[in-house]
Amino acid sequence: MSEQKKTIDFGFSEVPLEEKVKKVKGVFDSVAGNYDIMNDVMSMGIHRLWKRKTIELSGARSGQKVLDLAGGTGDLTKAFAKRVGQSGQVVLADINESMVRVGRERLIDAGIAGNVDYTITNAEALAFPDNSFDIATIAFGLRNVTNKDKALQELYRVLKPGGQLLVLEFSKVTQPALAKLYDFYSFNILPKMGKFIADDEASYQYLAESIRMHPDQETLKQMMLDAGFDKADYLNMNEGIVALHRGWKY
């Protein structure tokens, strides 16, 4: 099969490989303005606890350099910027200019300045030298990447020896009864909420589908090891609705 004919999942649909980036960009251009309020409504605010746990387990400290990939509207960047202080640096990086713009405005309004940089970059070809960061995170972004293996390899490359990657992502629910309830919510309620709050049912239908197409916990753990990480583990939260994966570069 020629490269031009290869396809990849876009939610439950199949699209030509080269079109996924454009389609994902379209989704996040559409939702950028309402992204934060929808996160609160969709998760009933629990996403804040998931992100707080990510920050705590990162062990970030003064003077460190942090990459917040797929950093979007800046929740993790804001917390990291406070932790690393003015002697440290946080880079909010995202492929989507609309999300970075909203994130930059939010952080400036919150008084976060001086130790935060903003970059438009593709996770599969990061615009940073080898061994650049003490910590890298990607929260709710890896499932939207076309070539996840390449993105994980790139994240490994830009980490310093001794560095840590944290991947916060929706995952496979471990409790069968909850899994059924979660499916009903995802495909019957979530898209309608997207239509009511953001006037965008299709984008939230895609987001629900993309979660189901994402690798499960054990698969992603092995992908991280295959990408070069010397050690990898994960922590299930809320019965696996979300998992926090961690990888170390020695």
Annotated binding site for S-adenosyl-L-methionine: 73, 94, 122-123
Residue partners of 44: CB distance under 8 A and separation at least 6:
none
Q: CA of 53: how far to CAs of 4, 58, 76, 198, in Å?
A: 42, 8, 11, 28
Q: State the alpha helices, DSSP H only, in the chain.
A: 20-31, 35-43, 47-58, 75-84, 97-109, 148-158, 176-184, 190-198, 201-213, 217-226
Known binding-site residue numbers: 73, 94, 122-123
8 A C-beta contact, residue 61 and residue 67: no
